[in-house]
Amino acid sequence: MLANTNQTYGLVAQVLHWVTAVLILLLLVLGIYMHELPADTAQQVESKIWLYFLHKTLGILTFIVAIVRVVWAMVQEYPYPFNGDKKIEIFLASVVHWLLYGCIILMPITGWLHHAAVEGFAPIWWPLSQDILFVPKDPQLAKLFGNAHFLTAVLLMGSIFLHIAGAFKHVIFDRDQTLARMIPGKVVSFVSPLSAPGKSKIYLALVGVVFAGLFVAIFNSQSPLIQDENSVAEKSIPSTGNWIVDHSNSKLEIQIT
């Protein structure tokens, strides 16, 4: 059975769910690991850049899978919950689901935008342009997208934690077959017919508020990074001897080939 029913998920939704889960967890672990790697020698730099290649390439793949998954979820029937009488739990589960959908799309997008705004970068191993239309090469813009990528990842990790905690609750405390419905080939049986949940969409409004708060946090995180160049240039730092650093007429560059 490929499509969903009001009783269980179909094979397409199941495969998309687990492929997305593996890719997201791999990207989160890889992102943390490669960021902490040293870059003191040429070999260390080469290894780190290769991991950035891999991270960005898998990020684009995750974005494609996420789009397919969200579109499939929107056109498919949603299985009725086992705890149909617990309105608050259904509401919270819906909020977490839509937070997950939003994050698994926003995180690769923000990473791709950051990649496009950076002057030097580890290229993406996909047959596509390394640049994005209307996204200039700009350090401040790159920092903005970098902050957005990081904060979205934090929100995603929180959503994943809540999602996994909810799954364990269904298995350990409720002892129902909510998790079994997402396992390919698993036969799900019901003691009694399931009832349809209510049609309230308030959770979408709450998700919108959360993402609005995320965008505010992203732009607020940018403000400490934006320095007043004029005030910095006016300051001169004396050092040993008679030397004075003239910031307005000084520049230090490094170029790695």
pLDDT digits (tens, 9 = 90+) for 160-190: 999 999 999 999 998 888 899 999 888 777 6
Q: Which of 34-48, 56-70, 78-92 has the lowest mean pLDDT?
A: 78-92
Domain positions in the chain: 11-187+197-225
DSSP type of residue 129: -
Q: What is the per-residue pLDDT for 249?
A: 87
> 176-188 in b/e burial notation, b at 16+ Cβ within 10 A?
bbbeebbeeeeee
Which pTM value belongs to this model?
0.78
Residue 231 structure tokens: 């005030």
**Rounded mean pLDDT, 227-233:** 48
User: Mean pLDDT for the chain?
Assistant: 84
Residue 29 structure tokens: 């672990």
DSSP type of residue 136: -
Quote the radius of gyration of the chain (alpha carbons, Å).
24
Residue 31, judged by CB atoms within 10 A of its CB (0-12, 13-18, 19+), counts as buried
Q: What is the per-residue pLDDT for 17?
A: 95
Would the pLDDT of 230 be above 60? no
Q: Which of 19-33, 205-219, 222-236 has the lowest mean pLDDT?
A: 222-236
Would the pLDDT of 229 be above 50? no
**Rounded mean pLDDT, 110-134:** 86
Q: Which of 19-23, 153-157, 211-215 has the lowest mean pLDDT?
A: 211-215
Statement: 11-187+197-225 belongs to CATH 1.10.287: no
Cα 139 from Cα 137, distance rounded (Å)? 7
Of the pLDDT bands very low, low, confident and very high (cuts 50, 70, 90), residue 131 is: confident
Q: What is the largest CA-CA distance in the chain?
A: 88
